[in-house]
Amino acid sequence: MVHEKTVRLFKSLAKLWEPNPDLTVSEWADRYRVLTSETSAEPGPWRTERAPYMRAIMDSVADKETEEVAIMASAQVGKTEFMLNMVGFHIDYDPCPIMFMLPNKNLIDYFSKKRLSTMIDVSPTLRSKVSEAKSRDSGNTIDEKSFPGGYIAIVGANAPASLSSRPIRIVLCDEVDRYPVSAGTEGDPISLALKRTTTFRHNRKHVFVSTPLIKETSRIEQLYNDSTMEEWCLPCPNCGEMQPIKWEKIKFAYEKSDSGQFQIKKVGHRCSSCGFLYPEKEWKKGKGQWVAQKEHSSRRGFHLNQLVSPWSSWEEIVQSFLIAKHEGREKLKVWTNTVLGQSWEEEGEQMDEEELFNRREGYPAPVPDGVKILTAAVDTQDDRFEIEIVGWGAGKESWGIEYHQLYGDLRQPKIWRELDEYLSRTWSKQDGSLYGIACTCIDSGGHFTQEVYRFTAPRESRRIYAIKGQGAQNNEYVPLINGYSRTKREKALLISLGVSEGKAKVMSSLKIREIGPGFCHFPLEYNQKYFEGLTAEKIQTKYSQGVAYRVWKKIRDRNEPLDLRVYNTAALEILNPNLDKEYSSSTNKRRKKRRPGVVSKGVR
C-alpha cells in the first residue's frame, strides 16, 4: 500500500515537472477554448477550421522570428476572438506579463466582464489558473487578473499612469485607429506601452489590431504597409489562380421594390486571371492561404475583409452596400471601414463657398416636395439668436429651409418668447400640407447657459433640447451624440455633441455633387455670407511625435452656419426617423401609398 502511494506521488510530481506539449496558439484554442451563447453565435468548442485564415494569424504570435503583428481587418471576421485566444494561450501555456490596451478606459469594464471573464469561466484550464474575484486584493479585479507566472493588465490608451508602471512581455493593442495621439501629456500611448517591453528583448511580442478609419491618419494602415502585407487568397474554381477576394471583382444584379427594399438576384466574383464568374459557394470551397506582398520582416501584416468571413454572406454584403449607398456618403464611409476593412479617403480638403453659392435653387414652396421632416438649430450670440431650419428626405438628402436671426437682449424674457413663437411655426409644401419642427437643438455653451436650460426644460415634450459641444482631444474619437445628462438646478436634458465628428459629417455631405442621398440643397434666399460661414473651417493634418492627427481650423471668423448645420445633423440623429416614411405636423395631408412593386433594377 505504501509502495503504491509512493508511486502515485512520484507520478504526480513528474507530471508537474514535465514540459508542456509543443502547441501553437491555434492548437491550444482547438483543444481548450470554449465559446458561449453570450458572446458567440456559434457556442461550443472552438474550431479554427471554421475560419481557417485565423490559424496563421494566431500562430504568428508564437513565431520566434516575428516580433510584431499588424492585423488590418473589417468587422465580423473574429478579430476579438483570436486576440482572446492569444491571451488564453499565454495564461495556460506560456505565462508572462500581458497588457491588453483598449481605445479608452471606459471600455475596460465591458471587455473584462463580458469577454475576458466569460472566456475564463467556461474554459476549465483557464479557470483553474485565474483566482476568483472575491475581493479587491484577490489578484482578480476588473482591470487586472493574475495567474501563475504572470498577469494580464487591461488599460485604456487615454490613461497614462496605467501605461508606464510595469514591465510587460506581450502587448495587445485593440482598435488602434481610435487611440488618442497622446495619453494625457505623456505622449503616444503605443510608444509608452512598447517601452514596457524593453527588458523582454528576446521574446517580446507587439500585436496591433484595428478596423481602419481615415486614410491620412490610420495607424493600422501605416503599420500594415510597413509589414509583409499578407492577403488571404483563394483559388479560382476554373483556373486555380490564387487571389484575394476583392470588392472590385464582385458582380451583382438586384431589384428595388417600391417600398425601398433591395432584392439581390445574383452575386459572384470574377477571376482576375481567366475572367470566369463564380458564386460565393464555389470560391469558398477552395483551400485558402496567406500570400505576402513584401519580403519577410520582423513585422507580419494581415488584411481581412468580410468577403472571406464565414459569418457574412456576399448577398448580405451587397445588401448592406446598396443600403449604405442609398443612405449617403457617411454610411458608405462606415461600410468601407467595417465591411471591406479599408480606410476612407476624403475627396479634397476644402469646400469652395462660391461653388455652393452657385448651387442655390428656387423652391416651388417653402418646403420642397422631397422633405419628410424638419429640424431646427439655434446658436446663442450676445445680441441675437442665429437659427436655421433644415428639411430632411430619403437618404438624408437635405434642404435648407430658412436662415433666421432674432435680435434682442438674451437676459430679458421678450426675445425668448419670440424664439418660442418662431419654433412653434409651420412651413408649407406646394400641396398645402404643413410641417412643424420635429426636433430643435439649442447651444448652451455661450454666455447664456442657464437661460437656455430654463427655456428647454419645460419644452422637452416638444423635443427642444439643450446641447453642448465637445471637441475631440488628441484625435480621440467622439461620436456626434456623445451622451445625455440632466442639469442639477433646472433638470433640463443636456445632450453632449462630438462637434468634430459633426463637422466631418457636414463637410462630407457638402462634397456630394449628385442630387440624391446626402446631397445638400440651398434656397435662393441664402446669401454669400451664409456660405462663407458654412465653409469657415477646414480640416488639417498635424503631427505629434510622428503620429498624424486631424484638427478643425477656422479660416474665417464667423462660422455660425457650420455650427448650425452640425446641430441640425445632431437633431436628426437624435430623432433617428425612418426617412422612407412621411412625417409632418398633425395638419399635414397624408399621401396615398402607391401599390408596392418592383420599380427599378440594377446590375454591377
CB 118 within 8 A of CB 36: yes
Query: Could you please report the per-residue DSSP string of 545-599?
Result: TTEEEEEEEESSS--HHHHHHHHHHHHHHHH---TTS----TTPPPPPPPPP-EE
Query: 106-128: per-residue pLDDT in tens?
Result: 899 999 999 999 999 999 999 98
419 and 297 inside one domain: no
Cα 507 to Cα 63: distance, rounded to the nearest angstrom: 45
CATH number, residue 507: 3.30.420.280
305 and 373 inside one domain: no
**What are φ and ψ of residue 85, in 5° steps?**
-60, -40
Domain stops at, among 312, 339, 371: 312
Residue 500 grid cell: 468634430
Query: 58-94: per-residue pLDDT in tens?
Result: 999 878 888 999 999 998 888 889 899 999 999 999 9
368 and 298 inside one domain: no
CB 558 within 8 A of CB 403: no
Domain stops at, among 248, 280, 312: 312
CA 361 to chain centre: 35
In a domain, 88, yes or no: yes
How many residues would you count in the chain?
A: 604
382 and 302 inside one domain: no
The pLDDT value given to residue 14: 47
304 and 394 inside one domain: no
414 and 507 inside one domain: yes
The parent domain of residue 571 ranges over 353-575
The pLDDT value given to residue 598: 34
Q: Cell 489578484: give the residue.
A: 139
The pLDDT value given to residue 347: 62
In a domain, 175, yes or no: yes
In a domain, 280, yes or no: no
In a domain, 135, yes or no: yes
H/E segment holding residue 413: helix 413-423
In a domain, 240, yes or no: no
CATH number, residue 187: 3.40.50.300
Q: Reduced to 3 states, what is the DSSP secondary structure of residue 301?
A: strand
438 and 527 inside one domain: yes
In a domain, 260, yes or no: no
pTM of structure: 0.78
Question: Which bin fits 140, alpha (ψ -120 to 50), beta or left (φ > 0)?
Answer: beta
304 and 368 inside one domain: no
Mean pLDDT, consecutive 10-residue segments, the chain of 604 residues? 59 50 88 87 90 94 87 91 94 94 92 92 90 65 92 89 82 94 82 90 92 91 94 96 95 83 91 94 96 86 95 94 85 92 76 90 96 96 95 94 96 96 96 96 92 96 94 72 92 94 90 90 96 90 72 87 96 91 48 34 49
439 and 308 inside one domain: no
Cα 203 to Cα 200: distance, rounded to the nearest angstrom: 6
547 and 498 inside one domain: yes
Number of domains in the chain: 2
In a domain, 582, yes or no: no
End-to-end CA distance of the chain: 80
443 and 302 inside one domain: no
Q: Which residues of 120-157 are buried (b: 16+ CB within 10 A; e: fewer)?
A: bebbebbeebbeeeeeeeeebeebebbbeebbbbbbbb
In a domain, 93, yes or no: yes
358 and 301 inside one domain: no
Q: Cell 401609398: give the residue.
A: 593
CB 97 within 8 A of CB 166: yes
